[in-house]
Amino acid sequence: MADIPFVLVAKVEDVPSAGMKCFDVEGRGVLVMNTGEGAYKAVENACSHEKKPLEGGRVRGGKKIVCPHHGANFDLDTGKALSPPAVLPITVFPTKVEDGSIYVQLVEAMKPPANPFAVPGAGGMPGGL
């Protein structure tokens, strides 16, 4: 990820402690969370389940976000889905804070499989319902 530039998202004062705010950065919805003591985390503002916004979801222990729509939990460091109805990860943006500003690397969005029916053990052959 070293070759992906950090881009300016906001000033630290734009995201108050224990708060979150969504910013439009180059057409991407970047949800920035202030998890306390100067730590910020950022994820794509889209649940992997139905693509609904994660904005407004509860952040737990600075480590998990709960989708406000159907309650899926995600790890804020890895994006991994921790509970249904989500199975796929969300996109996590690496962040850094410099001179009072928050920057993120706009990594590529996590993509669902082109064919959700594909079964890996069968060489990607699709299954069914």
Q: Which residues contact 30 (CB under 8 A, 6 or more apart)?
A: 9, 22, 23, 24, 42, 43, 44, 45, 93, 104, 106
Asked if 129 interacts with other proteins (CB under 8 A), we say yes
Asked if 125 interacts with other proteins (CB under 8 A), we say yes
3-class secondary structure, 122:
helix
Provide the CB-side half-sphere exposure for 110 (13 A, CA): 20
Among the candidate windows 17-25, 37-45, 79-87, 98-106, which touches other proteins by CB under 8 A? 79-87
Asked if 117 interacts with other proteins (CB under 8 A), we say yes
Nearest approach in angstroms of CB 46 to other proteins is: 12
Asked if 121 interacts with other proteins (CB under 8 A), we say yes
Asked if 115 interacts with other proteins (CB under 8 A), we say yes
φ, ψ (nearest 5 deg) of residue 76: -75, -15
Instruction: Provide the binding-site residues for other proteins, judged by CB under 8 A.
Output: 49-50, 70, 84-85, 87-88, 112-123, 125-129
